[in-house]
Amino acid sequence: MNIAIWYWVIVVIWGLVLTILNIILFFKIWGMTNDIKFLTNSYIHEKGITSERKNYEDYYVDKDGKRIELIR
């Protein structure tokens, strides 16, 4: 076979490998975002943090009544 065909075969195989690895990486990152949501929700529940709204301003309050400021 011609050497140009071998280069083409190598490029196609390399492209398929990279595509498959990118798909795997996408689903791993998606799974990690779900873990962050779970950890955040469990932390909020453990610390007794609640959301309150006064004067059109949203903020969070812990179980001792201390206001938690959000940086936006």
Q: By percentage, how much of the chain surpasses pLDDT 70?
A: 85
Whether pLDDT at 56 is above 60: no
Global pTM? Answer: 0.53
Whether pLDDT at 61 is above 60: yes
More confident residue, 26 or 2: 26
Whether pLDDT at 65 is above 70: yes
Taking a C-beta distance cutoff of 8 angstroms, is the pair 60, 52 a contact?
A: yes
Mean pLDDT across the stretch 35-42? Answer: 79
Q: What is the pLDDT of residue 9?
A: 95
